[in-house]
Amino acid sequence: ETGVTQSPTHLIKTRGQQVTLRCSSQSGHNTVSWYQQALGQGPQFIFQYYREEENGRGNFPPRFSGLQFPNYSSELNVNALELDDSALYLCASSLDMGQGIEAFFGQGTRLTVV
Amino acid sequence: QQQVKQSPQSLIVQKGGISIINCAYENTAFDYFPWYQQFPGKGPALLIAIRPDVSEKKEGRFTISFNKSAKQFSLHIMDSQPGDSATYFCAAKTVDNFNKFYFGSGTKLNVKP
């Protein structure tokens, strides 16, 4: 186990709704990244938080937003859900950033939008 | 545009055989190349990683071969076991302040008993 926990594990939402996913990072890790993994694909980088600030963003629209709390846990919020948002959402935590820093992934939240 | 291209999409290997998965990249700024293993319903787990200043890294039955001039790297799993059956992803990251990994599309490995 990586020590990174995500909740909930599964979620079903209706198109147009909003969703919040949660991630508890490994103890001592101050950096959290979020990824979207569509079925049969590799994970795609959504954004990263470092010490409570967004610190890098992938090619995702503004309706994908996040937060990082003082204890370094994090939330991913998605507004106006679309069917294509159905995916496995992964968070990864690491101690700081930069070269060769290992990122530890949680087990993911499976989001289904109907 | 996919930054990291991975092949094959699926692979069947007999127990005891060698599994080989290949990846190619374009961005010469990539400086860290990990391989992840993912079982169904689980998140990716780091297997082994390499930096471009070495051509090979071995950890147990897993070896990364890295060819900087060809911009290719591969994972070799020696003495493949049924427990190795999983999806494998290569990834790459640039030298900057982000933990933004670019993942390949994955290879589903099935090791037959």
B63-107 residue pLDDT tens? 999 999 999 999 999 999 999 999 999 999 886 756 789 999 999
Cross-chain CB nearest to A45 (options B6, B101, B105): B101
- Asked if B70 is an interface residue toward chain A (Cβ–Cβ < 8 A), one would say no
Please list the ranges in chain A whose pLDDT falls under 50: none
What is the pLDDT averaged over residues B57-68?
96
pLDDT at A1: 67
pLDDT at A111: 97
Q: How many CB pairs under 8 A join A and B?
A: 75
Q: Which two tokens stand for residue A76?
A: 């991913």
Among B10-19, B41-50, B60-69, the minimum mean pLDDT is found in B41-50
Q: Where are the beta strands (DSSP E) in chain A?
A: 5-7, 10-13, 19-24, 31-37, 44-50, 53-57, 64-68, 74-78, 87-94, 104-105, 109-113
What is the pLDDT averaged over residues B44-60?
93
Mean pLDDT of all residues in chain A?
91
- Asked if B34 is an interface residue toward chain A (Cβ–Cβ < 8 A), one would say yes
pLDDT tens digit sequence for B24-38: 999 998 988 999 999
- Asked if A100 is an interface residue toward chain B (Cβ–Cβ < 8 A), one would say yes
Question: By CA distance, what is A39's nearest residue in B?
Answer: B105
